[in-house]
Amino acid sequence: MLDDVINALTQMVSPPLRAVLWKSIFLALALIVVLGIAVDRLIVHLVDAGGASLETTVGPHAHLPVDAVAWLLSIAASLGIIVGGVFLMPAVTAIVASFFSDRIGEEVEGAQYPADPPGKALPLWLAMWEGGKTALLAILIYLCAAPLLLFAGFGAVIFFLATAYILSREYFELAAMRFRPPAEAKLLRKRNAMTVYTGGLFIAAFVSIPIVNLATPLFAMALMVHVHKRLSREKLEHVTARLNRRDSKGRVDERVYRH
């Protein structure tokens, strides 16, 4: 896995990908501004609505407790927005990846695996559908984790682990679907869940670094191209070994063909 990480870091700053890097940074900045404003307005609305509802239920004598609760929620919301560059980046990178995943995958495959058959570009609608689902899930987790930031950063830990899962899932499947049908790509991910998730931990760490995290789509996609290639090679070697396995009479084990 460390070799995959090093290869991804090296590849993302290579000349062929520099144009993609600047385009992804520009798009990420635009999206994070839009998402930041939208999430801020949503949280403020929820705080106001929740405070008014609680005061109506409890009565006018509970004005002070209601204000205290609203104040705490406002702090949580403000804290979440302050660190929004980190907390919104998983959603942003999921959307950005929809536009550049195939370009990144093509460059990495061509440079690192020139002897292998090239992958096939995904339909844009499919890439955007996968990215959109991941972005919505990331925002939902962000909204759930933001109030928990008040409890010794417990929310940050939850968000980090969840980010590792959702981004590893998206980027691995985007890399795998260049060579496999979607159902097969998802099955391969599930069968190698721990390996894929370990790669996701590196992606989550990368996306947690301010400024640097603008390049997350390049790093994450390059990393998962390497992970997919390695898992595919290991699977091929395993199947080849089974095909070469013979019984006591020298016959090929027919169970391989039924597997």
- Report the C-alpha gap between 172 and 242 in whole angstroms: 26
pLDDT at 157: 80
Angle between helices 2-12 and 216-243 (to 10 degrees): 140
pTM of the model: 0.73
Phi and psi, residue 252, nearest 5° = -65, 140
Out of 11-15, 104-108, 163-167, least confident range: 11-15
List residues bridging with 252 in a β-sheet: 246
Per-residue pLDDT tens over the stretch 147-204: 666 665 676 787 788 889 888 988 999 999 999 998 999 999 999 999 999 999 999 9
Q: Taking a C-beta distance cutoff of 8 angstroms, is the pair 259, 242 a contact?
A: yes
Identify residue 229 by its one-letter amino acid code: K
Check residues 117 and 62 and name the one with the higher pLDDT: 117
The more confidently predicted of residues 246 and 236 is 236
* Mean pLDDT score, 214-230: 90
Which residue did the predictor score with more confidence, 17 or 197? 197
How many Å apart are CA 161 and CA 33, to the nearest integer? 24
Q: What is the residue-wise DSSP string for 86-142?
A: HHSHHHHHHHHHHHHHHHHHHHHHHHH-TTSPPP-PPPHHHHHHHHHHHHHHHHHHH
Half-sphere exposure at residue 188, Cβ-oriented, CA atoms within 13 angstroms: 26
- Give the pLDDT mean for 119-132: 83
Can you tell me the mean pLDDT for 126-155?
74
Per-residue pLDDT tens over the stretch 29-84: 887 777 667 766 776 676 666 656 655 665 555 556 656 655 665 565 555 555 55
Mean pLDDT throughout 105-120?
87
Read off the pLDDT of each residue in 6-34 and give the average, rounded to a whole number.
82
What is the token pair recorded at 40? 């801020």
Mean of per-residue pLDDT scores for the chain: 77
- Report the distance separating Cα 255 and Cα 259, nearest Å: 6
Between residues 244 and 105, which one has the greater pLDDT? 105
Q: What is the pLDDT of residue 259?
A: 45
| Residues above pLDDT 90, as percent of the chain | 16
Look at 251 and 35; give whichever has higher pLDDT: 35
CB 9 within 8 A of CB 226: no
pLDDT of amino acid 163: 85
Q: What is the pLDDT of residue 56?
A: 64
What pLDDT shows up at residue 258? 44
Run of H or E residues at 166: helix 154-176
Q: What is the pLDDT of residue 19?
A: 82
Q: Are 20 and 214 in contact (CB under 8 A)?
A: no
E-strand spans in the chain? none
Q: Give, as one character, the DSSP assignment of residue 254.
A: T
pLDDT of 139: 76
